[in-house]
Amino acid sequence: MEGELHSAAPGGTYRMPAEWSPHQATWISWPHNTDTWPGHLPGVERTMAEAVGALASSELVRINVRDADHGYHVQKLLAGRVPPERVIIHQFPTNDAWCRDHGAIFVTRNGPDGVALLALDFEYNAWGGKYPPYDLDNTIPGRMAEALGIPVQQIPMVLEGGSIEVNGKGSLLTTEQCLLNENRNPALDKATIEARLKLNFGVEQVIWLGDGIVGDDTDGHIDDLTRFVAEDQVVTVVEQNPADPNYVALQENLERLASVHLPDGRPLRVTELPMPTLLWRGMERLPASYANFYVGNRVVLLPTFNCPADEEAAAILARCFPGRRIVSLDCREVVVGLGTFHCLTQQVPVAPE
């Protein structure tokens, strides 16, 4: 099968660890595209500097920049906030900042020999060709792997990191709206896509949800909807207002999740997250979602939107991650680019020994 991962020894199957598993680093492509954040880029950079400061307290942060001058600019923004030894600047130019989607996806294995950490390089077409050019973004997975000194496996299938979510124990979440969209892999049917997800991420179960939230230009990425917070538990966003366009789709996703059992027979525990107050840019509804949090080694970066539900979302995640500090950062400017912290980050797991 195309895209197959070959193990060097029996039982050496690769598997994508859960996001809360130990990281050796978090990888970011620094925001720079003024078309993505018209009039908001300085505010976005300030928020990202705060985010890096929080992450760097417990892990290395690797940052892609356009060139040397851009690297100096980023270092100035981080000066006094982040110890220099906690950041590595890479002159890997990108078209945009969405490292979750254009970056490598890392998988590991516990085999007795061979490679323990592998970078997967899926095809990337800027969410169905919406935002050309994306030629620079497409080089990033290989450059990330080279910087880490690990091999890279090219997978002949369009897939973004924000479209999948794993628990590290054999289950994967995704949406039909995204992965079955004709602008991704029109020649592949659902069964073939599911088989490739199982093969490349080392999972036994694919949990399919339906549609994403209004304003999400990624065609329904799972990281704006439903996230694993434990191997048998998810949080999922729910809209309380029946008149809101998100209400029906999120209720349908909630119903699907309520019927899920894990491969070992356990029912999936489902915790509801609120939706924030509506945010707009002109006539465009923005995809603000508390589900777009990012789990670091000792912190959880939570996007907030200056509304009453911010505190409720923070309290829910604090109960889900009792050993981590919830870092709530105002993302009203960041979400103008149609994504927040999870979209802007990619974890590099610690390789098994």
Give the active site residues.
343
Which runs of E-coded beta strand occur in the chain?
Answer: 23-29, 60-64, 87-90, 105-108, 117-123, 152-158, 165-166, 171-175, 205-209, 226-230, 233-237, 269-273, 280-281, 284-285, 294-295, 299-304, 325-330, 346-349
Both tokens of 177, joined, read 């709206």
Residues 119, 67, 50, 222, Cα dihedral to 10°: -40
* Cα 204 from Cα 222, distance rounded (Å): 18
Q: Is the dihedral of CA 207, 12, 105, 347 positive or negative?
A: positive
* Cα 55 from Cα 341, distance rounded (Å): 12
- Distance linking the first and last C-alpha atoms of the chain: 29
The CA distances from residue 44 to 41, 77, 139, 226, in Å, are 5, 12, 24, 25
Q: Give the residue among 242, 330, 303, 318 at the shortest CA–CA distance from 40.
A: 330
- Residue 81, phi then psi, degrees to nearest 5: -110, -30
* Cα 23 from Cα 8, distance rounded (Å): 24
